[in-house]
Structure 1
Amino acid sequence: MADKRETPLSNPSLKGHHCSVDLRLEKLGMVPFFQDLPEAELREVNKKFTANHYTRGETIYRQGDPSTMLRVVVAGNVKLVSHTSEGQSVLLDMLQPGEFFGNPAASGKEVYNETAETQTAACVLSIRLRDFRDVMNRYASVAMSVLDITTDRLQESRQRIRHLSTLPVKKRLAYILVTLANKFGEKDRQGLLIQLPLSRKDLADMAGTSTETTSRIMSQFQDDDLITSGRQWVAVKDKPELLRISAES
């Protein structure tokens, strides 16, 4: 029962050195539209970013705020949440170091379509969109990559909407667990441990269903020995079976 009360997740302390120049360059270099830049040019781009530290649960920006910044996660985790007109929360994505958020192609007159919140303590780099446009004008590879990524993200959003609107909840949750395990999973005595705090509400918001339904299905997955879980953590024990469930007709 100790595992139920105590999280097995790693919980590194977030100090100022987590946004050191070397780490900033490493994580910026992981961002798709910066991957082709030589180190010297990446260092020039880095100078245009500012670093901010956040505690767990802080709001970085809210849905409807003017879209003025592009941001990159350097340390910690950030989640993106959309709020519907009916007041429902939909968890769009969970981000790890090296991933960006905000709309890089925004004109400056647009607003954020989601709320960004820290899921853990985090260090985030920010660049004003007008400065990012200068970067795109200077480096053609960045501008071309932004166009490709914007198109890909639109297609992913359409696929996610289809997924939420057509598949049964059990399949949605199985698919979400496999996706999170692929992205955040680390081998552990518990199984493939998803290395970020993950509540039943988070999973419900990702699946577009209620917390009660999510808890019932997660309990079924646990009874079937597909997962093991505790307070704010989940480990996948049988990923192939979850994948089969998500794909079965």
Structure 2
Amino acid sequence: MTGDIELIKQTAIFGGLGDDALTELLSAGSVKTPSRGETLFLQGDPANAFFVVLEGWVKIYRITKAGEETVVGVFTRGQSFAEAAAFTAGKFPASAECVTDCRLLMIPSRHLLDRIRARPEIGLTMLASTSQHLHSLMRQIQQLKAHTGAQRLAEFLLSLAPVESGACTIALPYDKALIAGQLGMKPESLSRAIARLKERGVRVKQNMATLSDVEQLRDFFEQERAEVLRTRG
């Protein structure tokens, strides 16, 4: 875990903690390496731990009364999940599944609560960090709703691009249905967005996306955003 400390420090929930407090919390933590498709917990299970993604992607989902799966969120390197349930030591309100092979830091809920009882300032600091992160997520959701489908997909691909300019090929981290869910779109809307981005040099085949010009795609995203702001202003 030593090599992951800097990443863990940057995780939103740990952002305000000092080194000594962080060391206390991590003392009972363990690194798990679940495989793609492995279930971490199910909706209704006792919330006995929370997690930080060190590598890979994890989806959080709920099953509706109609038996349909609804994706609540997708988490990747440097992000934490299930901490709210861990704070209450209640039950997980949703299920979690690895959509790729993963490395995860798991911290037991009981240890977290014990540390907070012993040092209440740890809980207050984590609460403040979580609150700031929640406000940031709310802003992101508002921005997402203001974006067109093509904008959302362009921004997603740009976030995965390994270069700032020129051409590149991206291995999509999970299937298109999950990408659509994460971007707040239906699968057919995602297909239309992919078709629209073809004229911007984007080609998507199975789990691979090819960008002919990253800067061109970024320019498209910025132009679309400016147009949306203009029409809504």
- Tell me the TM-score normalized by structure 1: 0.71
- Partners in 2 of 1:69 and 1:194 — Cα distance? 33
Partners of 1:141 and 1:185 in 2: CA distance: 39
The equivalent position to 2:148 in structure 1, one of 137, 158, 171, is: 171
Where do residues 181-196 of structure 1 align in structure 2 (5 Å cutoff)? 181-182=158-159, 184-187=160-163, 191=167, 196=172
Deviates more, 1:148-157 or 1:74-83: 148-157
State the 1:218 CA deviation.
1.0
Shift of 1:55: 0.8
- Give percent identity, aligned residues only: 20
Aligned residue identity for 2:8? L
Contiguous gaps of at least 5 residues in structure 2:
none
Moved more, 155-164 or 225-234: 155-164
1:216 is aligned to 2:195: no
> Is the 2:60–2:97 Cα contact (8 Å) retained in structure 1?
yes
Contact residue 53 and residue 104 of structure 2 kept, 8 A:
yes
The answer to whether the 8 Å contact 1:181/1:193 transfers is no
RMSD: 3.3
Cα drift, residue 69 of structure 1: 1.2
Q: Which residue does the alignment assign to 1:240?
A: 219
Alpha-carbon shift at residue 117 of structure 1 (Å): 1.6
In structure 2, distance between residues paired with 1:162 and 1:65: 31
- The aligned counterpart of 1:5 is none
Cα distance in structure 2, aligned partners of 1:190 and 1:87: 44
1:29 positional shift: 1.9
**Matched residue, 1:132:** 112
Q: CA deviation at 1:127?
A: 1.5
**Structure 1 stretches lacking a partner, 5+ long:** 1-20
1:79-99 C-alpha deviation (Å, 9 max, x unpaired): 223444444444343322222
Letter in 2 for 1:187: V
- Displacement of 1:59 in angstroms is 1.5
2:28 matched residue in structure 1: 48
Determine the structure 1 residue equivalent to 2:100: 120
Q: Distance in 2 between matches of 1:163 and 1:80?
A: 21
How far did residue 47 of structure 1 move?
A: 1.7
Q: Aligned AA for 1:50?
A: S
After TM superposition, give the deviation of residue 132 of structure 1 in Å: 0.8
Residue in structure 2 matched with residue 34 of structure 1 by the alignment: 14
The code of the aligned residue for 1:22 comes to: T
Question: What residue identity is the alignment partner of 1:203?
Answer: I
Structure 2 equivalent of residue 229 of structure 1: 204
Q: Residue 175 of structure 2: which of 179, 182, 199 is its match?
A: 199
- Report Cα offsets for 1:62-113 as digits up to 9, x if no partner: 233332211111222222234444444443433222221103463122x323
Q: Give the Cα separation in 1 of the matches to 2:204 and 2:166.
A: 9
Q: With structure 2 as the length reference, what TM-score do the two structures score?
A: 0.75
User: What residue number does 1:144 align with?
Assistant: 124
How many residues align? The count is 223
Aligned-pair distance for 1:37?
Answer: 4.0
Q: 2:89 maps to what in 1?
A: 108
Match of 2:49?
69
